[in-house]
Amino acid sequence: MNKKIKITIAVLAVLILGGVAAYLFTIGPLGKPALATVNGEKITVELFQKELAKINPSSQELIREDPSKLLDLIVNRTLLLQQAKKEGVTASPKGSASTTPGEPQDQETATIMAYLDKKVAALPPIAPEEIEQIYVAYKGQLAGRKKEEVLPLIRQMIEAQRQEKEAGKLLAELRKDGRIEINGRTLQKMTVVPQGMETQTEADFRKALAGGKPMVVDFGSNSCIPCRQLRPVLQKVRKDQEGKLEVLIIEIDKNQQLAAEYQIQVMPTVVFIDKAGKEVFRHQGFMSEEKIKEQLAKMGVG
């Protein structure tokens, strides 16, 4: 083997090994995989887990089932913090007048709140008409107190509404103009759906509707407590009536068009559909196994 070929092989080996190392220490098992990037800034899995740990343990299971919701909040926070720094706004943990008394606050949160305070402060002064509108709207809850007595409270409410509206408008602009990339594969790997909490899609619904079997369809959400209480009941009904009945669990947030088609207004809403595909009954709120079976018996299922 001549010297030139040896050098070429050596260079290729370095490139290959270098590529492997880059994988291991960036997106591979030895690195900190990016769950998302916001204008080039990484949101790592490690950061996500830290934010998850701050949340009430009873709510963590819900987030693990749909981590995209927490990730969306982290993306919004990152966008606001980036813009605040870009405009030269910074604050200490006690630097924001909008902090709830007794609520712990880090420097990043203080900076975001100071930035939003600055945006709200640039708005026109609160008009008397705004004060009057709030006073009239909440007069029944003020125990007959005069407007002058509750004026500070009314101003505080208006300022909070303005801040929320301004933040929403600002985030819409930042998300529109920003470069946001979500690592869907990593996000999917982090999703943990407990057995019995699996949901179906609109495509599953259409297929079942054309299948010629009676249906029980739960329109709800995994984040809704009565919906979660209903899920084990529906799983038992599905098992008991296997082959005779289709039982579907539809997540409203992910199937909004279907929910609108069936005019769903309350979660959960249990819709009973006969084998011809016609709705014959619906129930709003939690429904016991006994009540479900009573309705199914009326439909000739049992």
Check residue 273 and give its pLDDT: 96
| Extended beta strands in 49-101, E state | none
Does residue 153 fall inside a structural domain?
Answer: no
Residue 207: inside a domain: yes
* Residue 201: exposure state from Cβ atoms within 10 A (0-12, 13-18, ≥19): middle
Which residue ranges in the chain fall short of pLDDT 50? Answer: 3-31, 95-103
DSSP letter, residue 267: S
Write down the pLDDT at residue 105.
64
Query: Are 151 and 131 in contact, with CB atoms under 8 Å apart?
Result: yes
Residue 43 DSSP symbol: E
CA distance 174 to 37: 14
Q: In angstroms, rounded to a whole number, what is the distance separating the alpha carbons of residues 91 and 256?
A: 41
Angle at the Cα of 277 (from 275 to 283), degrees rounded to 5?
95
pLDDT at res. 1: 54
- Residue 32 domain flag: yes
SS3 212: coil
Domain boundary among 90, 112, 134: 112
Residue ending a domain, among 94, 112, 130, is 112
| CB-CB contact of 282 with 269 (8 Å) | yes
Specify the pLDDT at position 32: 64
Predicted confidence at residue 195, as pLDDT, reads: 73
Query: How buried is 209 (Cβ within 10 angstroms: 0-12 exposed, 13-18 middle, 19+ buried)?
Result: middle
pLDDT of residue 100: 44
Structurally, the chain folds into a number of domains equal to 2
Residue 77 lies in a domain: yes
**Does 69 reside within a domain?**
yes
Q: Which of 52, 79, 112 is the last residue of a domain?
A: 112
Mutual angle of helices 45-53 and 57-65, in 10-degree steps? 140
Contact call for residues 96 and 110 (beta carbons, < 8 A)? yes
pLDDT at 13: 44
> For residue 269, is it within any domain?
yes
Q: 248 is in which domain, residue-wise?
A: 202-298
Q: pTM of the prediction?
A: 0.63
Residues 107 and 207 in one domain: no
Q: Is residue 29 situated within a structural domain?
A: yes
State the CATH number of the domain containing residue 290.
Answer: 3.40.30.10
Is residue 51 one of the residues assigned to a domain?
yes
